[in-house]
Amino acid sequence: MNLLHVSWEKCVVVLFFGTMKLLIVAILVGLCLAQHNPNTKHNRTSIVHLFEWRWADIAEECERYLAPNGYGGVQISPPSESIVVTNPWQPWWQRYQPISYNLCSRSGTEEELKDMITRCNNVGVNIYVDAVINHMCGASGGEGTHSSCGSYFNANKEDFPSVPYSSWDFNDYKCRTANEEIENSNDVFQIRDCRLVSLLDLALEKDYVRGKVAEYMNKLIDMGVAGFRVDACKHMWPGDLSNVYGRLKSLNTTWFLPETKPFIYQEVIEYGGEPIKASEYFELGRVTEFKYGAKLGAVIRKWDKEKLSYLKNWGEGWGFMPSDKALVFVDNHDTQRCQSAGGACVLTFSDSRLYKIASGLMLAHPYGVPSIMSSYHWDQHLVNGKDQNDWMGPPSNANGSTKPVPINPDSTCGDKWICEHRWRQIRNMVIFRNVVNGQPLSNWWDNGNNQIAFSRGDKGFIVINNDDWELNVMLDTGLPAGTYCDVISGDKSGDSCTGKQASVGSDGRATFHISQTQEDPFIALHADSKL
């Protein structure tokens, strides 16, 4: 009997084969393309999305804040040359309309990008690129040099000489709708072969196009990136993506072990009922679990009679994808603007109290690889429930250039940069997750409503009160005896705590009091917060 064993994360293979040798080797090549490991260093476990930050600011943030506080990596905005839109004025989504693979954007030049990647890697923080490879700019993008590098293009004629792409390289010949747009969201062929909101759809089945996309991604790998968030994957055929991923190099051995493959996490929006399933992309890499943030927001808002106590089987028990395939988030740059399904239940920085509870729970729970959103402020203008200003780009100067991120004396950010990743509660839960990494979820407790607690083995413990009354209870923490600093209300500072503390007895039990009126109605303890 032929036997095949594959370790998905490292692609370690043991083969025993007879006459089926060639078939098994062919299958093996496909399996080994699966890249689910974020390749983070030093037991770091979380990614932060520094949305629209300049490369120079990211480099500084890696050195001064992310590395010292245990962040594993940064998702950066698309670095490729994009269209520059002036009506509306320089919206965030212009970064998702490339006109070439030149590495100049409003985040900085190619040299600034390379410097940032090097500096972040040197302090153990990975860089993940948001890769836009499904399409080029919109068909209405016009003709000229209104692009972030000043390159000429003609969207009307599908002419992008800086790649180069011509009309031969787009899916017009495959799309069967009258205007080449997606008209039926239940038609798999339209979703993958036609234009998404007029964006010129690349023919990724063509070897030339695959080669150009892989060339772009490999250049970034050579510069030292650790992986890619791949945009709009449900609009590309899995077989085409598999071919492209198969052309990618191993990571740069200056910072990564030999033969380490890039981390791939793919944007596939699925809330249920869609004709394209996230599971179609599992073998290629991790997939963004959009249901996670929507469901978590509904539970914490207590909508539809949801309760925290229902989270006892959070994760796969809620119909989510397997944990080892999932990339999770409370919100991302799309959902916080209601640009994808999920609706108003998605929590954002605008409701900071509930947002911190959601982020704390995500980082304490072992499900998936967590991504933390770091945002900027925009002035909402609601008309019939629709935000008319959801297009707004980052804080900018009059000429459209992105402003630097100033750091206030209290470690928060200024000039409309939100920087949720710098909020003490979220920062300290990132450290919590690192400390408890690999430990099982245990000692679950709930009151049948919205008070819950659980431990992560004997390394960490969290208790949350989202009820309208006080929590006052003695719980089994699973922790060794001692006095622990609560890392939500403060920090461990030498031999004392700047916030609350908890005394764990020899039986592992401790008493907790959390008022329903507290700004942060939860407590978290971990092994490194013990006095």
**249: amino acid identity, one letter:** K
Identify each DSSP E strand in 125-215 by its residue range: 126-131, 135-138, 143-144, 153-154, 199-201
For residue 42, the Cα-to-chain-centroid distance in whole angstroms is 20
CA 109 to chain centre: 24
Q: d(Cα 487, Cα 497) in Å, to the nearest integer?
A: 9
Cα gap 479→476, rounded to integer Å: 8
**Active centre residues (catalytic):** 231, 267
Structural tokens at position 529: 């917060």
Tokens coding 425: 């509660």
* Residues sharing a CB contact under 8 Å with residue 452, sequence separation 6 or more, in sequence order: 308, 309, 311, 444, 445, 446, 463, 464
AA identity, residue 335: T
Element (H, E) at 376: none
Q: What does each C-alpha distance from 514 to 433, 454, 488 come to in angstroms?
A: 22, 15, 12
Pair of tokens at residue 254:
């200056």
Q: Are 502 and 484 in contact (CB under 8 A)?
A: yes
Residue environment code for 171-204, b if the CB has 16+ CB neighbours within 10 A, otherwise e: bbeebeeeebbbeeeeeeebbbbbbbebbbbbbb
